[in-house]
Amino acid sequence: MRITLIIGLYIACEIIANVTAAKPVLLPGNIVVPAAVFIYAITFTLIDLVNEKLGKQGARHVVYTAFLANLLLAAYSQFAIRLPATPFYGDEGQAAFASVLGSTWRIVLASLTAYLISSLIDVQVFAWWRERVGRHKWARVLASNAVSTLVDSIVFIVIAFGGVMPVLPLIKGQYIVKMAVTVVSVPLIYLVRARVAAKSPQPSSVA
């Protein structure tokens, strides 16, 4: 699997998460999370894959690129909503369009702030574990994601819903789901490593 594909998937997941974050969903156990939580949780493992291949600086560049892509999405969505619609589109069409792409700026601010802070923390923790501990790749993925997803959940919920909804249950629900997705996605690290190793040229033996 090429690193460009992983980077593309990472940025795509970030953008999809921003579009789908406006819908709250109810999970078993009365856990309420944004619909985006499932695909967003995968991004932490994907950026760890980028970190594994390109290093800390390369992963940071990808984080900044995805941040700019999300910022462009938010800005252009607001621009598109404010453009005058054709008569046949109607008020209902305009309202539906705005309800999907017109998240309040508080939600947008919360999403972008949480993303940037948590992603950079994930990159830093993953790199630190690789340099200081070295072994057990699955452990550094879980360690970096455990810290970054917690920070992401706290920052997003507090900025987006602080003073409006009870934040602790929302933070707990998001964190549980994100870590569950992380555990499931950990094998991606080993799959990519095996694919890369299989495609690497083997040293030829001299008879």
Give the pairing type, strands 24-27 and 31-34. antiparallel
- Tokens (6 digits) for 41: 């949780």
pLDDT tens sequence across 182-196: 888 777 666 665 665
Residues 66, 85: Cα–Cα separation, whole Å: 30
**Helices 37-82 and 105-132, packing angle to 10 deg:** 140
**Helices 167-185 and 37-82, packing angle to 10 deg:** 120
Residue 55 has φ and ψ, to the nearest 5°, of 85, 180
pLDDT tens sequence across 121-147: 988 888 888 787 766 677 777 888 889
For residue 25, pLDDT over 90 is answered with no
